[in-house]
Structure 1
Amino acid sequence: MHRRITTAAQNLYSQGHFRRNSASERIIVGATKWCVFQPVEPTRAVVEAAIQDRIERMQSDHVDLLQFHWQDYSNKGYMNALEILHDLQTEGLITAIGLCNFDAIRTDEICTQLGPGVIVSNQVQFSLIDTRPLHGMSDVCERHDLKLLTYGTLCGGFLTDRWLGRSVPDLYSGKLTPSQRKYLDMILKAWGTWELFQSLLGVLRVIGDRHGGLSIANISTRWVLDHPFVGAVIVGTRLGISEHLDENYKVYGFNLTEEDNAEIEAVLIRSNGRRIITTIGDCGAEYR
């Protein structure tokens, strides 16, 4: 899996519609999720019904990448569900199986039990603010040849030029999206202060200028993509509304230098970023 930027479509129907009506000659890979939040007995019938539903809504005869989330770790049914998903993969209903918001311990357990190559990815949060994948998850990825599909890389848009030099927004003003409220809360309560965050944006702006006027978003994305265990960065855009395609493509045209990374690290080391894993928990813990 080559490291790249991928766009998150709003739902399965829009993915199916986009694939059916796309005139592009590029290969379109449709990734979707099966998230189990409530207790369920993962029988063959239950698992197959979930996959068939996604196949129908994506207007395909298979799922390219099925990303599996299981809410309750104390219920080991997730192993049964994954074994059935593997059976469906061998039958051609699924091309590849990934995880979604699994922590390092369970990811290692799953990959060990299912064997090499069965699980190809884990979708987790990773950014300059949230660096939890560096603590444990990166080792699991190397051990099992796993790639992370990362979201939250721009922290709901806070890691962009738009917020450079601006005062801290009111969390409860009603002007922020749910995503922005989530990431602002993490910046202020788990990572550091707004003043330190402004210092980070300032450093990213200097680095962007050094590389010919690239955006803060470009630098933030490149930093994530430069980690070898990252397979792709998921950019939360809205098709036909706010895609930023030309802007996002610029991330492929440069590399961060040792000087760039040293300047970024000089800010990160002043934050609580390395301790977020102890305050929030490992990858995906915020959803459990």
Structure 2
Amino acid sequence: MTPPPTTVPTVTLSDGEQIPQLGFGVFQVPPRDTADVTTRALLAGYRHIDTASAYRNEAGVGQAVHAAGLQRDDVYITTKCFNDDHGFDQAKRALRASLDRLETDHVDLYLIHWPVPSTDKYVDTWKAFVELQQEGLTRSIGVSNFQPAHLDRIIAETGVTPAVNQIELHPYFQQAGLRRDHADLGIVTEAWSPLAQGRVLDEPAITAIAEAHGKSAGQVVIRWHLQLGNVVFPKSVTQERIEQNFDVFDFHLSADEMAAIDALDGGGRIGPDPDTFVRP
């Protein structure tokens, strides 16, 4: 069964490539379940899958593309270089290993997963990324969890600006200043943990908006991300939620509703601090 075409909007990256604004994340999906879960997401209409070598489920993502009856170019695939693969030569080897697991000759987006400033290798890693893009092994290159100082340094030392910075971003932790920096630099913001691991779903301001639109709280938060311009990829393993998270293009939040969610900012991070994180 080949899934139907989708109408997910795309965002244009600084290198001219297009990225689907809504994707499917496989963080914490067990490797043994990834092929099945991702196949079901693709059959539900998703065409953007976000994985990472550290998730240990890249192989399942590659299998799912085949199982869903899709061609490689039908699916936008992101993976990431983890902390122990930093360094010029190691980063280049890491992408080739990821490509083998994904059963593809290229990814659409390759990200430095964390800056790991304590090892001071992220600039050399970024230099490798520039070459990997030139070699055609990844269409676009970007970073994840980079702070302004990290962004400034790699740009200053290489002259190449990341297309994307994937950061923790949800109604309780909105990172408005970093998003402004991204906009000034032409970097697209991607949001991980977009629902704050479910913590925002009982928030009264959000449930009231959901009731007004006949939608779930999760759908409202995803819609908030989309209207901010974020690229977002919620994760679920249940079929109902997989489909529900994709059904977010038939309603629009008003300026007042967006402001009500904006007012929830201030709860702080759920995940690690990028300035100190090395390993889980």
Normalised by the size of structure 1, how large is the TM-score?
0.71
Aligned amino acid, residue 155 of structure 1:
A
Aligned pairs for 1:119-134 within 5 A: 119-131=162-174, 133-134=175-176
Q: In the alignment, which of 81, 85, 92 is matched to residue 136 of structure 2?
A: 92
Question: One-letter code of the match for 1:16?
Answer: G
- Bigger drift between 79-88 and 107-116 goes to 107-116
Give the RMSD, CA atoms, in angstroms: 2.7
Q: CA deviation at 1:281?
A: 11
Q: Which residue of 1 aligns with 2:76?
A: 29
**Counterpart position of 2:249:** 252
Residue 113 of structure 2 aligns to a residue in which SS?
A: strand
Aligned residue for 2:21?
A: 4
Aligned to 1:193: none
Query: Secondary structure at the residue paired with 2:96?
Result: helix
Output the CA distance in 2 between the equivalents of 1:104 and 1:37: 22
CA contact (8 A) 1:125 1:283 kept: no
Gaps of at least 5 residues in structure 2 are 1-9, 12-19, 30-56
Residues 13-34 of structure 1, C-alpha deviations (whole Å, 9 max, x = no match): 1111011222247820111111
Letter in 1 for 2:74: I
Distance in 1 (CA, whole Å) between partners of 2:21 and 2:114 is 26
- Structure 2 counterpart of 1:222, which letter? R
Q: How many residues align?
A: 231
Conserved 8 A contact 1:37-1:71: no
Letter in 1 for 2:96: Q
Deviations 1:218-252 (A, max 9, x none): 11122222223x2x1121123xx446233123322
1: CA distance, partners of 2:266 / 2:91: 41
Question: In structure 2, what residue type is equivalent to 1:263?
Answer: A
In structure 1, what is the Cα distance between the partners aligned to 2:137 and 2:266?
44
Does the CA contact (< 8 Å) of 2:207 and 2:216 recur in 1?
yes
Local SS of the residue matching 1:88: helix
Q: Once the two structures are aligned, what percentage of the paired residues are identical?
A: 22
By relative contact order (CA 8 Å, sep 6+), the higher-ranking structure is 1
- CA shift, 1:48, in A, is 2.2
**Aligned match of 1:171:** none
**Residues 221 and 245 (structure 1), Cα distance of their counterparts in 2 relative to 1, 3 Å cut:** same
Measured against aligned partners, the alpha-carbon deviations of 1:76-127 in whole angstroms (never above 9, x if no partner) come to 32111111221121011121111111112212332344335x5211111111
How much has 1:47 moved relative to structure 2? 2.4
Matches within 5 A, 1:189-268: 201-211=203-213, 213-228=214-229, 230=230, 232-238=231-237, 241-242=238-239, 244-265=241-262, 268=264
Q: For residues 264 and 89 of structure 1, what CA distance do their matches in structure 2 show?
A: 38
- TM-score w.r.t. structure 2 length? 0.72
The 1-side partners of 2:135 and 2:124 are apart by 17
Q: 1:79 aligns with which of 103, 107, 123?
A: 123
CA distance in structure 2 between the aligned counterparts of 1:220 and 1:233, rounded to whole angstroms: 10
CA distance in 2, matches of 1:73, 1:141: 20
| 1:168 corresponding residue in structure 2 | none
Q: Which moved more, 1:72-81 or 1:93-102?
A: 72-81
In structure 2, the residue corresponding to 1:5 is in which secondary structure?
coil
What residue number does 1:142 align with?
183
Q: Equivalents in 1 of 2:132, 2:249: separation in Å?
A: 36
Letter in 2 for 1:210: A
Identify the residue that residue 174 of structure 1 maps to in structure 2. none
Q: Secondary structure at the match of 1:97?
A: strand
Change (3 A) 1:99 1:283: farther
Q: Given that residues 88 and 127 in structure 2 are in contact (C-alpha distance below 8 angstroms), is that contact kept between their aligned partners in structure 1?
A: no
Please name the residue that 2:112 is paired with: 68
Alignment partners' CA distance in 1, 2:266 and 2:181: 23
Q: Which amino acid aligns with 2:147?
A: D
Q: Does structure 1 conserve the Cα–Cα contact (< 8 Å) formed by 2:115 and 2:274?
A: no
Would the alpha carbon gap of residues 263 and 96 (structure 1) be closer, same or farther in structure 2, given more than 3 Å must change?
A: closer
Q: Deviations over 1:143-180 (max 9, x none)?
A: 221112211111222333xxx4xxxxxxxxxxxxxxxx
1:156 and 2:157 equivalent? no
After superposing on structure 2, the runs of 4+ consecutive aligned residues of structure 1 that deviate more than 6 Å are 280-283
Match of 1:284 among 255, 274, 277: 274
How far is the alpha carbon of 1:71 from its aligned partner?
4.8
Unaligned runs of 5+ in 1: 165-200
Q: Greater Rg, structure 1 or structure 2?
A: 1
